[in-house]
A = this chain, B = another copy of it.
């Protein structure tokens, strides 16, 4: 079997004895041809092993692209990975192709990616960041395609928004910890300057504590990216400064599990000596000796809902601008 140049519409048209326009009509469906012609065209397309040329289609007339750009903070994250997996699978099933990017929580990276994406004239864009640079917004406007902001709810989305309120997540956990009678409460997470979702949860957390007459007693902010090990040593550092904490809220479950490991190694009992809570509902949390108090994020559903909302918009079907995907606070037994 030698390499054969892939046939185009013209090759099919020649074989059947019609014009390539008729072939185009048949293969895209929608009428304007007889059943007999359709059968012959389909047979010929199959025989020749026709592969549609999306490049040519998207290039010729805009509005026919099936390309969707998706930008997430990182690709090696359990949570975003699940969202991406589900988003991509749903888009693929509906006939769309995914171009990815990672912005690492830096608006400048997102901006560079968006500009590269614009060169491909995609049908839609999915973003997961909270803040966009002015140039990003300008590029998006020039592209004039549907934009879906995912992960956090936006009060004023550019276009579509699917997610939940990180602020409320933090608030809710604050109330849970306060109701459990904890008094000296610490926080461990990433830097606040970067407007990450974790920082938003912290704001909600502070508000919740405030309403209960409490405040964050001590906090540890890391420049390292969150993970098991950073949770481990951040806990060590925080307790060195504030030994009398009776609860710690972690930016995510991985850090909480790392923290738990440190506490266990030191003989500090959870939740007797100190309570811990995480965020995200990662699978790893399910195998701890005690079930971790955390917030479950329905990542798979989020990706699916986002993909479906986007495709609805692309097909001019009615869609809500803002779709809330509910998270769930899992009481666990570590607080």
Q: Which residues of A contact B (CB under 8 A)?
A: 1, 3-4, 6, 49, 51-56, 58-59, 67, 74-78, 81-82, 84-85, 88-89, 92, 97-102, 112-113, 115-121, 138-139, 141-142, 144, 227-229, 231-232, 254, 257-258, 261-262, 264-265, 283-284, 286-289, 299
Contacts and interface: CB of A to CB of B under 8 A. Distances in A.
User: Copy number in this complex?
Assistant: 2
Contacts of A59: 55-56, 59
A138 B75 CA distance: 30
A6 B141 CA distance: 11
A75 B97 contact: no
21 contacts: A3-B141, A3-B142, A51-B139, A51-B142, A55-B119, A55-B120, A56-B59, A75-B81, A75-B88, A76-B82, A88-B100, A92-B116, A97-B99, A98-B100, A228-B283, A228-B284, A228-B287, A254-B284, A261-B288, A262-B287, A265-B289
Contacts of A258: 287
Contacts of A286: 228-229, 232
B6 A52 contact: no
A52 B92 contact: no
A127 to B, nearest CB: 16
Interface of A is mostly: helix
Contacts of A78: 76, 78, 81
